[in-house]
Amino acid sequence: MDRVGDAFVWPFRDPEWVNKILIMGLIQLIPFVGAINGLGWMLAALHRLRAGEERLPPANFEHLGRGFRLFVVYLVYYGSVVLIGAVLYVPGTLILAQQGKDSSSPLLVAVGLGLLLLAFSVVTLGLLVMTFLTPSVVLEFDGGGIPGGLRLGDVLRRARFSLTNTLIAGLMLIAAGLVGQLGSVACFIGVVFTSVYALAMQAWIVRSFELGAAAPAGR
């Protein structure tokens, strides 16, 4: 992937990075709306990087429309993971609750615990897989809107085309996620900066993934 390590430093190349990150961070504090606007802002940053302009997008609410459409795509994917987990979790919980009332059966208790463990494993693995598929999802969405982002076959094809790039991008996105949480660990107000900084990192990571992997054959 092309200069993927620059994901950590590129936001500071914008002379106005302090104001933009601060304003976007304050917008991020608005429940629901802030997160959706942040997704759109990340996409705007991706477009700027694609045009060769290493400056952060304007910090305003103009990114809500595009952000909402990407949010819908994410909602379908992550909602599916949670739903699958719930299908396993709810029966397991009901079995254990029933066994707590009646004389417990070791076999049923084992089944209940097994379902809970399986639910936790499925959700954890699903969220991890989604992290590694995120660059492909974003690029498919960027090229084809909501239908494009939801074409799982195309998403998987793009991710498989260069497994090395997919792996590196996923690991970098995990690092960006950790950076985004640093502000809440050190001081809550710090998340105003780190959450937006993480979005800027994501834009660079997705762009690096795009440069590092040519479009799959047949597209």
Tens of pLDDT, residue by residue over 82-93, are 999 999 999 989
Structural domain boundaries in the chain = 4-212
Instruction: Say if residues 140 and 118 touch (Cβ distance below 8 Å).
Output: no
The 8-class DSSP code of residue 14 comes to S
What are 69-109's pLDDT values in tens digits?
Answer: 999 999 999 999 999 999 999 998 998 888 777 667 888 88
With the C-alpha atoms ordered 124, 147, 198, 160, is the resulting torsion angle positive or negative? positive
Predicted confidence at residue 219, as pLDDT, reads 42
Is the predicted pLDDT of residue 61 greater than 70, yes or no?
yes
What are 155-204's pLDDT values in tens digits?
Answer: 999 999 889 899 999 999 999 888 877 765 555 556 678 889 999 999 99
Is the predicted pLDDT of residue 52 greater than 80, yes or no?
yes
121 against 2, higher pLDDT: 121
User: What pTM does this model have?
Assistant: 0.88
Q: What number of other Cβ atoms are within 10 A of residue 157's Cβ? A: 17
Predicted confidence at residue 186, as pLDDT, reads 55
Calpha distance 118→140 (Å, rounded)? 31
Residue with tokens 């498989």: 160
Predicted confidence at residue 125, as pLDDT, reads 96
Q: Give the mean model confidence (pLDDT) for residues 150-154.
A: 95
Is the predicted pLDDT of residue 216 greater than 60, yes or no?
no
Instruction: Say if residues 81 and 121 touch (Cβ distance below 8 Å).
Output: no
Is the predicted pLDDT of residue 121 greater than 90, yes or no?
yes
Mean pLDDT of the chain: 89
